[in-house]
Amino acid sequence: MTTDVLLASLPAASGGFLLFDPEALLPALGPWALAGISLMIFIESGVLFPFLPGDSLLFTAGLLHEPLGLEVWVIALCAFVAAFLGDQVGFFLGHTFGRRWFRPDARVLKTAHLEKAEAFFAKYGGVSLILGRFVPIVRTYVPLAAGTAGYTYRKFVVFNVIGAFLWAVGMVVLGSLLGGVPIIRDHVDVWAIVLVVVSVMPIVVTVLRKALAGRRDRAAAAKGL
């Protein structure tokens, strides 16, 4: 199933496609739901397109597995394989092409995104392949940063397997377990938004800390004049 086929199958909603509304997207895909989940996780995990609903998609897929007619273990397995393979592609792209595709003013392949991933990788090393799974945008570019940095492939595979398993399988299973809780089952759309907000909080905190640090530096410089 190609990306064009997937996008063409999505019904239009007010303001655009249902791509960022997993609760509506997954039923709309019908028999293509499993393929759609796998494709989007694969793309977000390392094919340089970070703006997909990874966390909420997996959580909602686990939550709605019965209406979708899918077994939890099947969704989890496909998501795990897709996440693992996506990171493999990201690593080899970084190893082969490095930073050559990135531009400061690009819409998707921004130099700033890669620099954040490289800083994250430099700080946490191989463990960043696990931690980065739970941070939107970072999880797309960390494999690329690892490949660009010439990280040992054997170690990369080990951390990739662990990270893909904990994130993909964990999110799907968590969604399926919480599907029996009425307040979550009856308000999937609200909890999907909450999950997205929680996922991006590390990025927001980092931006705020840098902004505050910059303000303090400017204030200190002003006092020194």
The model's pTM is: 0.71
Cβ atoms of 54 and 11 within 8 Å: the answer is no
pLDDT in tens, 34-77: 999 999 999 888 777 766 777 888 988 998 898 899 999 999 99
- What pLDDT shows up at residue 189? 54
pLDDT number for residue 3: 39
Residue whose C-alpha is closest to residue 171's, from 68, 35, 80: 80
* Region of poorest pLDDT, from 29-33, 143-147, 208-212: 208-212
CA distance 127 to 81: 19
Domain count, the chain: 1
CA distance 85 to 90: 9
pLDDT given at position 4: 44
d(CA 98, CA 92): 9
Average pLDDT of the segment spanning 74-97? 93
Name residues whose C-beta falls within 8 Å of residue 110's C-beta, 6 or more positions apart in sequence. Answer: 102, 103, 104
pLDDT band at 30 (very low <50, low <70, confident <90, very high): confident
Element (H, E) at 17: strand 16-17
Please give the Cα distance from 65 to 157 (Å, whole number): 29
* Model confidence at 12: pLDDT above 70: no
- Of all residues in the chain, what percent carry a pLDDT higher than 90? 25
Higher pLDDT, 25 or 36: 36
- Could you tell me which residues come within 8 angstroms of residue 59 by beta carbon, excluding any fewer than 6 positions away? 22, 171, 172, 174, 175, 191, 192, 195
Quick: pLDDT tens for 139-169. 888 888 888 888 889 999 999 999 999 999 9
The three state secondary structure string of 106-153 is CCCCEHHHHHHHHHHHHHHHHHHHHHHHHCCCHHHHHHHHHHHCCCCH
d(CA 210, CA 185): 38
DSSP 8-state symbol, 11:
P
Collapse the DSSP code of 103 into the 3-class scheme (helix H, G, I; strand E, B; otherwise coil) and give the result: strand
Q: Which residue has the higher pLDDT, 105 or 9?
A: 105
Q: How far apart are CA 67 and CA 64, in angstroms?
A: 6
Q: Check if the beta carbon of residue 3 is closer than 8 Å to that of residue 43.
A: yes
Whether 9 shows a pLDDT value over 50: the answer reads no
Overall average pLDDT of the 180-196 stretch: 59
- Measured CA to CA, the distance from residue 50 to residue 46 in angstroms comes to 8
* pLDDT value of position 14: 38
Averaged confidence pLDDT in the chain:
77
Range of the domain at 135: 3-224
pLDDT category of residue 110 using cuts at 50, 70 and 90:
confident
